[in-house]
Structure 1
Amino acid sequence: MSLKKTALYALGLTSLTTFNAYAANQCETVRFSDVGWTDITATTAVTTQLLQGMGYQTETELLSVPVTYSSMANGDIDVFLGNWMPTMENDIKKYRESGKVETVRANLEGAKYTLAVPKYVYDAGVKTFADIAKNADKFNDRIYGIEPGNDGNRLLQSMIDQDAFGLKDFRLVESSEAGMVSQVTRAVRRNQWIVYLGWAPHPMNSKIDMEYLAGGDDFFGPNYGGANVYTNVRKNYLSQCPNVGVLLNNLKFSLDMENQIMNAISNRNKKPNTAAREWLSQHPEQIKTWLKNVKTLDGEPAALAVITYLKQSAQ
């Protein structure tokens, strides 16, 4: 081999080594978006604990849904575990079609997301979306949503703007998940009428005696806003970070599991990572299922490392 070819070959190896090192460094820290809903906080905490037990670093940013997707498109966020579909279709569509955001899999099936009322309101005759305006005075012409920019809020505002179900004189009250649940809890304690965004899984379903309203299919989808929740990643993340990709492909949650962790966060005042560690410690078989064919950052079997990490964290 000539000196020139030898130099070029060495330069190629150096460039490849540098690229591989850069790619590995890019994967050492996994960056999540959490949109502030307890269910996504719970699943993000679980995934964070798994990754930390595998030797990875994690960062979680509290972002709105629109900012989440623009940040993923910009390469600033790697993973989002909270793509509720079909209600987020308008949020993700342009990013999915441009290839800047990719969908890994459904991580939760059988969820729901639509308007709800306390059971005593339901029993009094408010069983559908069409019944809301008939009782405008009792509802004080208000529908309670969550944080501004949320997909559910936008659906509700579009209903009001279009005068769907006769709701043109209603006002959408935006606050936060915790703020809305507190407002509903106060109304129930006073036996007042209130209509609000409800969803499952969420501890509100056991904390509040509540019913979901029928008839909102054109806005929230059929089966009382029946939904699946998907895992999204930024463009090329699965190929750049294949080991994390195997984990994300393995991650499938259950309504019962999320309810347990959310209950610990919302009703027992546990910090999300603490609630996640406690649940994981009690379910080693689930850890093994999620970590099948997954390695630690150092290339060792991940399940044993995570179980050891959880035991050490509990000490």
Structure 2
Amino acid sequence: MNKSKGWLALGCMALSMQGALAAEPASCRNVRFADVGWTDIAATTGLASVVLQGLGYLPAKQIASEPIVFSGLKNKQLDVYLGYWDPSQTPAITPFIQAKALQVLPVPNLEGAKYTLAVPSYAAQQGLRSFADIARFREQLGGKIYGIEAGSQGNAQIKKMIADNEFGLGGFTLVESSEAGMLVEATKAVRQKRPVVFLAWEPHPMNFLMQLTYLTGGDKQFGPDFGGSKVYTVVANDWLQRCPNAGRLVSQLRFTTDMENHVMEPIMKKVKPEQAARQWLRSHPQALDSWLASVTTFDGKPGLAAVKSYLAR
């Protein structure tokens, strides 16, 4: 046998074996994401899903409330949740962490987030600047504070303030609906130049689509620095071990508030999250370099080249 051909054959065999070793079990191809219905989670899940599609995986998402999401991860009916906001969701997830029913990855996927009550800036100019000011504007506010979906920890904190008459809020009504419902009411008030108090957070396009002022004085309720938050990735127990390649990608995802704000903007205009994510990634392919370091396709081929090719189609 020709020696050079023999080495070539051995090299091809080694590459083939490496690819076979890198390929994951068929059960890993379906990656099941959780989504609590917030646009920022839709954006990050969309970004992750597009990359996974480029790698040959079949991502899907289930929209559910926080308790159902954490229970789904515990029962391994879901694989990944990219949206654990600390500290706002910490009370809800703590029992699951203490029971070791799921796994929180140690490094946050987003830093510099915030989550607390806010008002339009013209209301702040009228004197509504802190939690302690809300009660003085009871009549103009109609005695209402606008929250998001039932079961969220933000709503729970508002309910507690009302029940305990903190800041003189006894008798106020929490309006629970959804992120979209809250934004409809806030936008309506802004058009009419009426004061309105609502749950707000960053990243979110609301931060540049309307002039907001985050209220001071809510450190005890929402944490310092206007509910300064970190967002963590949560996975089902042993998912990283069972699906190490997909797990490596998920573990390496890092986002910024600016990135999420701009992916979220078209989503708010009814563009599908995957489409908005794909558009952003086409314009910012450099984000893929760190996300896809040492990540392969589902069948074991180089991941970065595959995803860039997929985005270029």
Q: 1:213 Cα deviation (Å)?
A: 0.2
Distance 1:57 1:201 in 2: 27
- 1:3 equivalent in structure 2: none
Q: 1:237 aligned to 236, 239, 243, which one? A: 239
TM-superposition CA deviations, 1:180-200 (whole Å, max 9, x none): 111111111111111000100
Q: Which amino acid in the other structure matches residue 198 of structure 2?
A: Y
TM-superposition CA deviations, 1:209-264 (whole Å, max 9, x none): 11000011111000010000000001111111111121122111011110110112
Q: 1:58 Cα deviation (Å)?
A: 1.1
Q: Which amino acid in the other structure matches residue 246 of structure 2?
A: V
- 2:297 equivalent in structure 1: 296
Q: Which amino acid in the other structure matches residue 114 of structure 2?
A: K
- 1:59 equivalent in structure 2: 60
Distance 2:159 2:211 in 1: 26
- 1:132 equivalent in structure 2: 134
Q: 1:119 aligned to 99, 117, 121, which one? A: 121
- Kindly report which structure 2 residues correspond to 1:162-311, keeping only aligned pairs within 5 A, or say none: 162-267=164-269, 269-311=270-312
| TM, length-normalised to structure 2 | 0.91
SS of equivalent residue, structure 1 residue 51: helix
Q: 1:124 Cα deviation (Å)?
A: 0.7
Q: After the TM superposition, which segments of 4 or more aligned residues of structure 1 sit over 6 Å from their partners?
A: none
SS of equivalent residue, structure 2 residue 85: strand
- 1:92 equivalent in structure 2: 93
SS of equivalent residue, structure 1 residue 106: coil
Q: Which amino acid in the other structure matches residue 275 of structure 1?
A: A
Q: 1:26 Cα deviation (Å)?
A: 2.2
Distance 2:52 2:272 in 1: 18
- 1:16 equivalent in structure 2: none
Q: 1:270 Cα deviation (Å)?
A: 1.8
SS of equivalent residue, structure 1 residue 262: helix
- 2:8 equivalent in structure 1: none
Distance 2:286 2:161 in 1: 45
Q: 1:100 Cα deviation (Å)?
A: 1.1
- Count of aligned residue pairs for this structure pair: 290
- Kindly report which structure 2 residues correspond to 1:35-50, keeping only aligned pairs within 5 A, or say none: 35-50=36-51
Distance 1:211 1:97 in 2: 36
- 1:155 equivalent in structure 2: 157
TM-superposition CA deviations, 1:133-156 (whole Å, max 9, x none): 121111111000011111111111
SS of equivalent residue, structure 2 residue 76: coil
- Give the fraction of aligned pairs with identical amino acids, expressed as a percent: 46
Distance 1:228 1:197 in 2: 17
- Kindly report which structure 2 residues correspond to 1:1-80, keeping only aligned pairs within 5 A, or say none: 24-80=25-81
Q: Which amino acid in the other structure matches residue 103 of structure 1?
A: V
Q: Which amino acid in the other structure matches residue 53 of structure 1?
A: G
Q: Which amino acid in the other structure matches residue 193 of structure 1?
A: P
Q: 1:25 Cα deviation (Å)?
A: 2.4
Distance 1:148 1:309 in 2: 39
Q: Which amino acid in the other structure matches residue 307 of structure 2?
A: V
SS of equivalent residue, structure 1 residue 138: helix
Q: Which amino acid in the other structure matches residue 276 of structure 1?
A: A
| TM, length-normalised to structure 1 | 0.90
Gaps of 5+ in 2: 1-20
